[in-house]
């Protein structure tokens, strides 16, 4: 008889944690009876329906009342729901993903006597996300939660160092590193998606397309991307360049306000303007194959899935060196790593790649090889399975 695994997730929406967890749960189903509990999405968030359709056998159960924002009454109701579900399902392992369910799920698991409790930190949550007081409170809370956790998983080496050395949240005998893996990019469809992208946006043959992918929220610093785009458009005009905003979020009004204030034209349908808003794209390969460069401008990151996916599709990346970014690329080989949020420095890096198609292709080829070797979903599943079963690999 299979052991039972309960995965508890903040929300199943388009974004790194869910896009990692859903395929991973599928890979673990040969060994475990897997159930996934998850909270309610916000209005500006979208379910990853293409993945849910790809893995219809997954057992997904919504946690009523569990929302992103703190709410004592609803959070207590969510906690009771999780406790009751654990008592009913009787999992051998509970694995939490996300800050709020990390608290509710670990407390509920220990209260219900679960034998093995695992928690994954998907991002560097302890600076840039919240104010100083709340960040300090979160650190103290996580230090207390260690006693309710058997294994802490970091998704990058830099994150593991932050957790253990700088923040003293975890201890070495409980801390493991399990890099993210990707397996839903189909290389056989690369040219199909590329041609479809060109037709959809009516692109000239020599247009260079640069994309920012993900949630358009403050921590992702998307207005900085627009400032960089403005610099590039004013500085370089030897060939057509288009900037694609792929995603949605509460920063969109600020982004459009910035563009309007600076008389920068944008579109939400075709690439007849220099800036294109696509909103969410359910199958990200549809966009990635059409882009030439992928950018990341965040104030903080755990392990940015957009950079991994871009490189697997053979695209060079330009990113600010924050959080775990440097663990997802090889600087000056698979992309360019920028040390500070400097508009000119970031813009000049993009212009270098825009101008030189040979360098762009060389970096893209190295990126594909690097990301495919280091961020395999199969490898991630094997590492996690060894942790679950307490048979860890040397």
| pLDDT at residue 192, as a whole number | 93
Across 198-207, 284-293, 354-363, 385-394, least confident range: 385-394
| pLDDT at residue 271, as a whole number | 79
Beta strands in the chain (DSSP E): 3-11, 32-39, 59-62, 93-97, 116-121, 151-154, 175-177, 208-213, 241-246, 266-267, 275-279, 293-296, 317-320, 335-338
- Higher-confidence residue of 48 and 72: namely 72
| pLDDT mean over 325-331 | 95
**Binning pLDDT at 50, 70 and 90, where does residue 31 land?**
very high
Q: What percent of the chain has pLDDT over 70?
A: 95
DSSP state at residue 123: S
For 227-239, the pLDDT digits (tens) are 999 999 999 999 9
Which tokens hold the place of 331?
């600087």
CATH numbers and ranges of domains, the chain = 3-183+376-388 (3.40.50.2000), 187-374 (3.40.50.2000)
Question: Per-residue b/e over 51-60, b at no fewer than 16 CB within 10 Å?
Answer: beeeeeebeb
**Binning pLDDT at 50, 70 and 90, where does residue 50 land?**
confident
| pLDDT at residue 172, as a whole number | 74
Phi-psi category of residue 314: left, alpha or beta, with phi > 0 → left and psi -120 to 50 → alpha:
left
Distance CA 323, CA 162 (A): 9
| pLDDT at residue 386, as a whole number | 94
Average of per-residue pLDDT values in the chain: 90
Strand order in the sheet with 208-213: 266-267, 275-279, 241-246, 208-213, 293-296, 317-320, 335-338
**Rg for the chain, CA atoms, rounded:** 21
Alpha helices in 262-342 (DSSP H): 285-288, 305-312
| pLDDT at residue 47, as a whole number | 82
Cα–Cα distances (Å) from 381 to 13, 20, 269, 280, in that order, read 21, 11, 39, 27
H/E element, 182: none
DSSP states of 151-180: EEEESSHHHHHIIIIIS--S-TTTEEE---
Three-state DSSP class for residue 376 = strand
H/E element, 215: none
125: pLDDT strictly greater than 80: no
**Binning pLDDT at 50, 70 and 90, where does residue 52 land?**
confident
Phi-psi category of residue 98: left, alpha or beta, with phi > 0 → left and psi -120 to 50 → alpha:
left
Task: Please identify which residue in the block is written with the tokens 């690329």.
Answer: 329
Partners of residue 116 on adjacent β-strands: 93
Cβ proximity of 2 and 31 under 8 Å: yes
For 127-155, the pLDDT digits (tens) are 545 566 666 777 788 888 888 999 999 98
Q: Which of 293, 292, 298, 155 is nearest to 214 (CA)?
A: 298
Across 159-163, 274-278, 340-344, least confident range: 159-163
Distance CA 122, CA 179 (A): 10
For 329-363, the pLDDT digits (tens) are 999 999 999 999 999 999 999 999 999 999 999 99
DSSP state at residue 6: E
- Higher-confidence residue of 210 and 183: namely 210
| pLDDT at residue 43, as a whole number | 80
Phi-psi category of residue 191: left, alpha or beta, with phi > 0 → left and psi -120 to 50 → alpha:
alpha
């Amino acid at each position: 008889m299979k052991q039972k695994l309960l995965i508890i997730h903040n929300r199943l929406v388009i974004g790194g944690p869910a896009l990692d967890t859903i395929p991973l749960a599928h890979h673990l189903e040969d060994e475990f009876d897997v159930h996934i509990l998850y909270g309610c999405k916000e209005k500006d968030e979208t379910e990853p329906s293409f993945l849910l359709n790809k893995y219809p056998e997954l057992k997904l159960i919504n946690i009523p009342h569990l929302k992103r924002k703190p709410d004592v009454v609803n959070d207590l109701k969510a906690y009771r729901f999780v406790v009751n579900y654990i008592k009913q399902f009787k999992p051998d392992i509970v694995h939490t993903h996300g800050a709020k369910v990390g608290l509710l799920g670990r407390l509920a698991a220990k209260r219900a006597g679960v034998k093995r409790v695992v928690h994954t930190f998907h991002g560097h949550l302890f600076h840039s996300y919240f104010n100083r007081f709340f960040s300090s409170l979160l650190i103290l809370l996580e230090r207390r939660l260690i006693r309710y956790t058997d294994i802490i998983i970091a998704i990058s080496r830099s994150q593991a160092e932050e957790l253990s050395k700088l923040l003293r949240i975890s201890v070495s005998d409980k801390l493991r590193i399990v890099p993210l893996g990707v397996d839903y990019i189909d290389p056989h469809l690369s040219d199909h998606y590329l041609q479809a992208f060109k037709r959809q946006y009516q692109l000239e043959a020599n247009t260079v397309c640069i994309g920012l992918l993900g949630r358009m929220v403050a921590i992702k610093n998307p207005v900085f991307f627009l400032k960089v785009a403005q610099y590039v458009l004013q500085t370089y005009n030897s060939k057509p360049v288009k900037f694609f905003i792929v995603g949605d979020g509460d920063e969109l009004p600020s982004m459009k306000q910035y563009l309007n204030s600076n008389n920068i034209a944008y579109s939400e349908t075709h690439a007849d303007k220099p800036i294109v808003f696509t909103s969410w794209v359910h199958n990200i390969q549809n966009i990635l194959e059409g882009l030439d460069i992928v950018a990341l401008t965040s104030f903080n990151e755990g392990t940015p899935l957009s950079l991994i996916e871009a490189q697997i599709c053979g695209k060079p990346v330009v990113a600010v060196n924050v959080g775990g970014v440097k663990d997802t690329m090889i600087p000056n080989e698979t992309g360019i790593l920028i040390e500070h949020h400097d508009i000119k420095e970031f813009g000049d890096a993009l212009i270098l790649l825009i101008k030189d198609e040979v360098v762009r292709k060389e970096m893209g080829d190295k990126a594909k090889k690097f990301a495919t070797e280091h961020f395999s979903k199969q490898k991630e599943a094997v590492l996690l399975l060894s942790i679950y079963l307490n048979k860890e690999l040397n």
